[in-house]
Amino acid sequence: EAQVTQNPRYLITVTGKKLTVTCSQNMNHEYMSWYRQDPGLGLRQIYYSMNVEVTDKGDVPEGYKVSRKEKRNFPLILESPSPNQTSLYFCASSLMVSDTQYFGPGTRLTVL
Partner 1 sequence: AQSVTQLGSHVSVSEGALVLLRCNYSSSVPPYLFWYVQYPNQGLQLLLKYTTGATLVKGINGFEAEFKKSETSFHLTKPSAHMSDAAEYFCAVRDSGGGADGLTFGKGTHLIIQP
- Positions touching partner 1 (CB under 8 A) are 4, 33, 35, 40-45, 48, 50, 56, 58, 90, 92, 97-98, 100-106
Q: Please enumerate in sequence order all residues whose Cβ is within 8 A of that of 98, keeping only pairs 6 or more positions apart, or say none.
A: none
Nearer to partner 1, 17 or 59 (CB): 59
From the list 89, 107, 103, 91, the residue with the least C-alpha distance to 10 is 107
Nearer to partner 1, 77 or 102 (CB): 102
From the list 72, 77, 32, 78, the residue with the least C-alpha distance to 55 is 32
CB of 39 vs partner 1, minimal distance in Å: 9
The C-alpha angle 46, 62, 59, rounded to 5 degrees, equals 40
CB of 99 vs partner 1, minimal distance in Å: 10
Nearer to partner 1, 48 or 64 (CB): 48
